[in-house]
Structure 1
Amino acid sequence: MNNRQLFLSHLAQTTDFPLMIEIERAEGIYMYGPDGKEYIDLISGIGVSNIGHRHPKVIDAIKEQLDKYLHLMVYGEYVQSPQTLLAKAICETLPSHLDNVYLVNSGSEAVEGALKLAKRFTNRREIISCVNAYHGSSHGSLSVGGNEIFKRAYRPLLPGIKNVVYGSFQQLEEITENTAAFIVETIQGEAGIKVACSEYFQALRKKCDETGTILILDEIQAGFGRTGKFWAFEHFGIVPDILVCAKGMGGGMPIGAFIANKEVMGAFKNNPLLGHITTFGGHPVSSVASLATIRVIREEKLLDQVETKANLFKKLLVHPKIKSIRNKGLMMAVEFESFEVLKPIIDRAIKNGVITDWFLFCDDAMRIAPPLVITEEEIEKACGLILAAIEED
């Protein structure tokens, strides 16, 4: 049996129509099939490869760690320099009171930890999230998701969840002294790159302060430079109580984190002790890869280049079939008339050698979120292939 047959026979499937693209190696913005076919990855493995595939500094860090040790002990017991140095580096990107990092394995797990922490710290049970939010696929994170299509088959989920409209000032009144947490994507991703105004976030912050509600910002997609700031909340003049990240933080390795101040995080130490447990959280290989990722973003000044690159995409992607482009930095949604128009364009683009996608809750928009290391020449090449795919109809 070849790889494609093994994939279909023995690997659990999530749809009846997987893409079935076979990749043998990857480098920078490119992925390569067994026959040498070249694909430009314009979605960074869904927001993961922010600094490109197999960045040399990430690979070097991984190789160096492999010669020292792999897993040693469940999270939080042994002093391991990959974890401590990463936590310090993350805190250095943040306001000083966000000084405690809990390392986990994924975004969904980070959301689970953040929800538990908010409940434990406040001794409240109600959680508010947004319509068309996506926070992950495990039971807790799915409970605070905002799309019933993905939730209905798994009910009952967590009780005490309210959904409000992202960006609605009026619905901030739903936040009360019974609310443990308001969890929100700083930039709504799967809704098709929806960006609320600064005044909304400031009003949200004020309401949470007034009611003693924990504000959880989910930057699983938007963090680590994707929007042109290291953290997307920097655009809006607020700071969360708990920050959630994953995806782009690992340089291609699996890792996530939720971050708070020491007082809030301390709620996990007593009644009960070991209030949150993870076996592989902060795995040393993933941790060194994440530390290298932070250094690459800084040393290569990738944040300074995001807006220019995003503007070039918007300048080049002009076509009668493109209705609009929404973005915050290199987190972009290219809107078409319908899914029926968009899907064949995505399929033809893949044949042309450029990989894009749509959004879970917005199927009339093309997802573009390339590695931040993409060059202007590569942007021009990718946009040419997309425009050719549009014209091929």
Structure 2
Amino acid sequence: MHINQRQLFFNHLAQTSDFPLAIEIDRAEGVYMYGTNGQRYLDLISGIGVSNVGHRHPAVLAAIQQQMDKYLHLMVYGEFVQSPQVRLAEALTQTLNLPQAQTAPYGRINNVYFSNSGTEAIEGALKLAKRFTGRPEVISCFNAYHGATQGALSLSGAEFFKRNFRPLIPGIRQIQHGATADLDMITNKTAAVVIEVVGGEAGVRVPEVAYMQALRKRCTEVGALLILDEIQTGFGRTGTFWAFEPYGIYPDVLVSAKGMGGGMPIGAFMASQEVMSVFKNNPILGHITTFGGHPVSCAASLATLTVIRDQQLEEQANAKGDLIKSLIQHPMVKEIRGKGLMLAAEFDSFEVLKKVIDRCIERGVITDWFLFCDNSMRIAPPLTITEAQIKEGCEIILGVLEVGV
């Protein structure tokens, strides 16, 4: 008997909006997804920043299979010595051995705590900052997005997104991303500043070098931890492995997820051993997780990291991003912002953009919008995308714009 998957999707899968894309995908490979109706879709959003090395990269699949042949879950996090976790943690800390960066107050990052997602990593980083500093206050940015769980949602910067879930956690203050004048709000009561290096859901907002350096200086002056959220930007998305690298700064805590798993669920927050050690006592087991650092996800992540580094995908991202910027030139596009392959193309309104997005999907190109900037098109394809595939996608977008909405 034929099962109507689409109907089951609406009947039994919890919905998060009244207008999901509801595209039924049969398989995916590289930068393409294939519908059950035979339609091929060029993925220009990487599952919202996840598929940095494309869908089902051979190296990632091989790593998953090799680990599956050894063991899956063994024990709650932090008790057994598991090779995939150890090797990935070492590789991550090696990416953070940056001689050109300033020295952070508490030393170089050499400890990694694995989680299942970005929002979980943010929750752990929040606990870590409060426990280490003994302070109650955390500062985030307006129009920021750090996740949807209670603590992460408390940091988010759009009131409409969290209004109906209050009360959330107290002690959150907000500043404008990129506004140096607001840095005076960071005081000796501040446990941490949690900030995206590039404002993602705000529509890809890239700060000035001077601002990021002033932020680092202010946190150091008052003893607040600088927590950099690189959930969307990490693993090569913006032209360097970590987006903070060109700014000449160094975080106290670094958060990653999305693109680090090669399509598998994983996140992490990272700090120096001095900072991370506070979870060991008062209370013991100060932060625990059952599935964080799942060995299969860690194996996939290490393969992803290796592919990006060996193929120098982060170094290619800027040229590929520049090509996209040069091709999507049209009167309907008011501006194209971003770094590397993390771009936003701005339109007059959400109503105009939504029609463009829908028509692009009909023609086989997947794009999207931003939570806090719904008049801008998200363009963030896999880092593995080729020049020919970029031209293919941009031609379809331009074809839609030429027809008009």
Whole-Å separation in 2 of the counterparts to 1:102 and 1:192? 29
Superposition CA RMSD, Å = 0.7
Q: CA deviation at 1:30?
A: 0.1
Instruction: Indicate yes or no: 2:77 matched with 1:75.
Output: yes
Q: CA deviation at 1:175?
A: 0.5
The match for 2:122 is 111
Whole-Å separation in 2 of the counterparts to 1:14 and 1:365? 20
Whole-Å separation in 1 of the counterparts to 2:161 and 2:113? 28
Whole-Å separation in 2 of the counterparts to 1:260 and 1:152? 32
The match for 2:24 is 22
Q: CA deviation at 1:301?
A: 1.4
Whole-Å separation in 2 of the counterparts to 1:225 and 1:63? 25
Q: CA deviation at 1:328?
A: 1.0
Whole-Å separation in 2 of the counterparts to 1:301 and 1:173? 39
- Which amino acid is 2:119 matched to? S
Instruction: Indicate yes or no: 2:155 matched with 1:144.
Output: yes
- Which amino acid is 1:242 matched to? V
Whole-Å separation in 2 of the counterparts to 1:118 and 1:301? 34
- Which amino acid is 1:263 matched to? E
The match for 2:104 is none
The match for 2:88 is 86
SS at match of 1:92: helix
Instruction: Indicate yes or no: 2:310 matched with 1:299.
Output: yes
Instruction: Indicate yes or no: 2:278 matched with 1:276.
Output: no
Whole-Å separation in 2 of the counterparts to 1:272 and 1:233? 33
Whole-Å separation in 2 of the counterparts to 1:65 and 1:20? 33
Q: CA deviation at 1:16?
A: 1.4
Q: Work out which of the residue numbers 355, 378, 381 in structure 2 matches 1:344.
A: 355
SS at match of 2:329: coil
The match for 1:287 is 298
Q: CA deviation at 1:35?
A: 1.9
1:115-143 per-residue CA deviation (whole Å, 9 max, x = no partner) reads 00000000001000000000000000000
The match for 2:223 is 212
The match for 2:43 is 41
Whole-Å separation in 1 of the counterparts to 2:403 and 2:74? 54
Whole-Å separation in 1 of the counterparts to 2:383 and 2:164? 37
Q: Work out which of the residue numbers 4, 10, 15 in structure 2 matches 1:2.
A: 4
1:296-336 per-residue CA deviation (whole Å, 9 max, x = no partner) reads 00111112211110111011101111111001111000011
Gaps of 5+ in 2: 99-107
1:329-384 per-residue CA deviation (whole Å, 9 max, x = no partner) reads 11000011111211100000000000000000001110000000000000000000
Q: CA deviation at 1:95?
A: 2.9
The match for 1:65 is 67
Whole-Å separation in 2 of the counterparts to 1:86 and 1:44? 22
Whole-Å separation in 1 of the counterparts to 2:344 and 2:85? 35
CA contact (8 A) 2:235 2:314 kept: no
Instruction: Indicate yes or no: 2:331 matched with 1:329.
Output: no
Q: Could you state the TM-score of these two structures normalised by the residue count of structure 1? A: 0.99
Q: How does 1:183-262 map to 2 (within 5 A)?
A: 183-262=194-273
Whole-Å separation in 2 of the counterparts to 1:125 and 1:304? 40
Whole-Å separation in 2 of the counterparts to 1:199 and 1:101? 29
Q: Work out which of the residue numbers 375, 382, 385 in structure 2 matches 1:374.
A: 385
Whole-Å separation in 2 of the counterparts to 1:190 and 1:300? 28
Q: Work out which of the residue numbers 139, 146, 153 in structure 2 matches 1:135.
A: 146
- Which amino acid is 2:4 matched to? N
Whole-Å separation in 1 of the counterparts to 2:313 and 2:226? 28
Q: CA deviation at 1:392?
A: 2.3
Instruction: Indicate yes or no: 2:18 matched with 1:12.
Output: no
Whole-Å separation in 2 of the counterparts to 1:299 and 1:202? 30
Whole-Å separation in 2 of the counterparts to 1:108 and 1:291? 21
The match for 1:385 is 396
- Which amino acid is 1:335 matched to? E
- Which amino acid is 1:264 matched to? V
- Which amino acid is 1:350 matched to? I
1:152-184 per-residue CA deviation (whole Å, 9 max, x = no partner) reads 001010111001111111110001000000000
Whole-Å separation in 2 of the counterparts to 1:145 and 1:342? 24
Q: CA deviation at 1:144?
A: 0.7
- Which amino acid is 2:343 matched to? M
1:242-294 per-residue CA deviation (whole Å, 9 max, x = no partner) reads 00000000000000000000000001000001000110000000000000001
